[in-house]
């Protein structure tokens, strides 16, 4: 099924040859900033009505298009993972999946909007490790990750790479460490805002080196990487789902990957441990969420469709090409996802408190 994207008009999109996407569900996402629309066409037609709520509605679910909300810019790593699983999930569910980018505040704007969307299964959030760091970074966070959502299941865990503009002098991580220590705030560090995985990794890097760089926030590491390739910023820590292509083409310089083992798709890239920075290890886990009152029968259908997508050979192959792998069937469950989210919230709280970083 072709995935295609077109700029989303301010009004809810009228899909080619189809009636307007359910207005009530988009109301929860009203005031969207930039948004790009990708329609995963599918076999089944969207019938009228639909939605969560009572048993019969949950039993009939889905009857309409489903919106997958991505809390960062189009073209970035979260967007890439979402579009990869959206297509097979759309086929399995028998309705179109519309991918919508809602940017800002390190992903917390989108999460807050989905928390308040209708609990009918037609608005789903794709988010990553940032869901577990947000409570520590944003004291006045508009939502509680554990109370205001139901988890659907884990999707994948993505390694991060330390990369730089291709003409930055250091050639090894050891040389980069010296460069950062010597140049400090003269060095610009791109990220996707407080709460983003790139910001967390940059925080860990600065903490490990006891240096302070000048952070340059973007609405996603898609546009940040564009500026890194263009030489407008100096360094970034970003996911292999975004950097693999640019590393392979030599458009950015890569120093290390933040996983215990090397990544098959980047065999020449040493791990941070090999390169002498063992304390910098972080993987970006992703999961799907729905508003807390979504009927369990609806969540179950989404979980089942997620498992089918994660077993899809195209998804497996494309994630492997980008240095990642799908979560196991055991981890693609609400139970495993909730356990991961809860334990990660506890893990990052003291680290972020110690670093004294806040998003507001
Ligand atoms: C993105 O999709 O742009 C990234 O996940 C942002 C981030 O978390 O660094």
pLDDT in tens, the chain (360 residues): 333 333 333 333 333 333 343 433 433 443 333 333 333 434 333 333 333 445 777 889 999 999 999 999 999 999 999 999 999 999 999 999 999 999 999 999 999 999 999 999 999 999 999 999 999 999 999 999 999 999 999 999 999 999 999 999 999 999 999 999 999 999 999 999 999 999 999 999 999 999 999 999 999 999 999 999 999 999 999 999 999 999 999 999 999 999 999 999 999 999 999 988 988 999 999 999 999 999 999 999 999 999 999 999 999 999 999 999 999 999 999 999 999 999 999 999 998 998 887 776
The answer on 163 and 113 residing in a single domain is: no
With 0-12 / 13-18 / 19 or more C-beta atoms within 10 angstroms meaning exposed / middle / buried, residue 344 is middle
Please give the residue range of the domain that contains residue 172.
Answer: 158-283
Q: How far apart are CA 78 and CA 67, in angstroms?
A: 15
Residue 237 included in any domain: yes
The CATH number given to whatever domain includes residue 105 is 3.40.190.150
Q: What pLDDT is stored for residue 255 in this prediction? A: 97
If asked whether residues 20 and 138 sit together in one domain, one would say yes
CB-ligand 1 contact for 198 (6 Å cutoff): yes
Ligand 1 pocket test target in 239, 322, 348 with most atoms within 8 Å of CB: 239
Is 333 found in the same domain as 260? Answer: no
Note whether residue 204 is domain-resident: yes
Residues 31 and 95 in one domain: yes
- Closest C-alpha to ligand 1, atom 9: 198
- Assess if residue 298 is contained within a domain: yes
Both 279 and 336 in a single domain? no
Within a domain: residue 332? yes
The pLDDT of residue 358:
77
Domain match, 318 and 278 both: no
Q: What is the pLDDT of residue 279?
A: 87
Q: Which of 283, 308, 340 is the last residue of a domain?
A: 283
Looking only at the bridges linking them, the beta strands covering 123-128 and 66-70 are parallel
pLDDT attached to residue 345: 97
- Residues 317, 328: contact at Cβ < 8 Å? no
Q: In angstroms, what is the span from residue 350 Cα to ligand 1's centroid?
A: 22
**Quick check: CB of 80 below 6 Å from ligand 1?**
no
Question: Would the CB of 195 count as within 6 Å of ligand 1?
Answer: no
Is any ligand 1 atom within 6 A of the Cβ of residue 359?
no
pTM of the model: 0.85
Nearest atom (ligand 1) to Cα of 79: 2
Between the two ends of the chain, the Cα-to-Cα distance in Å is: 42
Are 131 and 341 spatial neighbours (Cβ–Cβ below 8 Å)?
yes
**Among candidate residues 283, 316, 337, the one where a domain is terminated:** 283
- Whether residues 105 and 170 share a domain: the answer is no
Residues 145 and 294 in one domain: yes
Burial of 50 (0-12, 13-18, 19+ CB in 10 A): buried
CATH of the domain at 169: 3.40.190.10
Please tell me the predicted confidence (pLDDT) of residue 2: 34
Phi, psi of 297 (to 5 degrees): -65, -30
State the total domains in the chain.
2
162 and 274 inside one domain? yes
- Are residue 66 and residue 34 in the same domain, yes or no? yes
Alpha carbon nearest to ligand 1 atom 3, residue: 220
Q: What is the CA radius of gyration of the chain?
A: 20
Is residue 76 in contact with ligand 1, taking CB distance under 6 Å? yes
Ligand 1 centroid–CA 326 distance in Å is: 18
Same-domain pairing of 164 and 144: no
Q: Is 221 in the pocket of ligand 1 (CB under 6 A)?
A: yes
Please check whether residues 308 and 199 belong to one and the same domain.
no
Specify if 58 maps to a domain.
Answer: yes
Quick check: CB of 138 below 6 Å from ligand 1? Answer: no
Assigned domain for 342 exists: yes
The SS3 call for residue 100 is: strand
Residue 54 has what pLDDT? Answer: 59
As a whole number of angstroms, the distance between CA 90 and CA 85 comes to 8
Instruction: Establish if 230 belongs to a structural domain.
Output: yes
Domain assignment present for 360: no
CB of 78 closer than 6 angstroms to any ligand 1 atom: yes
Of 283, 314, 338, which residue sits at a domain end? 283
């Amino acid at each position: 099924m072709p995935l295609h994207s077109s700029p989303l008009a301010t009004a809810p999109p009228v899909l080619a040859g189809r009636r307007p996407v359910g207005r009530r569900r988009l109301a929860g996402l009203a005031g969207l900033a930039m948004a790009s629309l990708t329609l995963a066409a599918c076999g089944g037609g969207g019938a009228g009505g639909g939605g969560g709520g009572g048993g019969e509605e949950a039993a009939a679910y889905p009857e309409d298009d489903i919106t997958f909300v991505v809390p960062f810019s189009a073209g970035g790593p979260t967007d890439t993972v979402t579009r990869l699983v959206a297509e097979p999930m759309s086929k399995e569910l028998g309705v179109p999946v519309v991918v919508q980018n809602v940017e800002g505040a390190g992903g917390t704007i989108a999460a807050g909007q989905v928390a308040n969307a209708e609990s009918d299964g037609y608005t789903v959030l794709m988010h990553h490790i940032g869901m577990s760091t947000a409570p520590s970074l944003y004291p006045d966070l508009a939502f509680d990750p554990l109370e205001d959502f139901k988890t659907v299941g884990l999707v994948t865990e993505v390694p991060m790479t330390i990369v730089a503009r291709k003409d930055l002098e250091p050639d090894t991580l050891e040389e980069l460490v010296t460069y950062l220590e010597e140049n400090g705030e003269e060095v610009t560090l791109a990220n996707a805002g407080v709460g983003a995985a790139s910001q967390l990794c940059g925080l860990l890097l600065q903490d490990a080196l006891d240096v302070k760089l000048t952070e340059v926030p973007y609405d996603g590491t898609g546009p940040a990487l564009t500026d890194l390739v263009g030489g407008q910023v100096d360094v970034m820590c970003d996911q292999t789902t975004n950097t693999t292509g640019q590393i392979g083409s030599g458009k950015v310089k890569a120093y290390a990957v933040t996983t215990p083992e090397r990544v098959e798709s980047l065999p020449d890239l040493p791990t941070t441990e090999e390169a002498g920075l063992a304390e910098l290890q972080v993987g970006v886990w992703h999961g799907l969420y729905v508003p807390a009152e979504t009927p369990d029968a609806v969540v179950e259908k989404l979980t089942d469709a997620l498992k089918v997508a994660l077993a899809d050979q195209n998804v497996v192959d494309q994630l492997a090409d980008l240095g990642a792998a799908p979560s196991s069937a055991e981890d693609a469950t609400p139970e495993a996802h909730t356990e991961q989210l809860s334990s990660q919230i506890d893990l990052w709280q003291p680290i972020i408190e110690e670093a004294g970083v806040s998003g507001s």
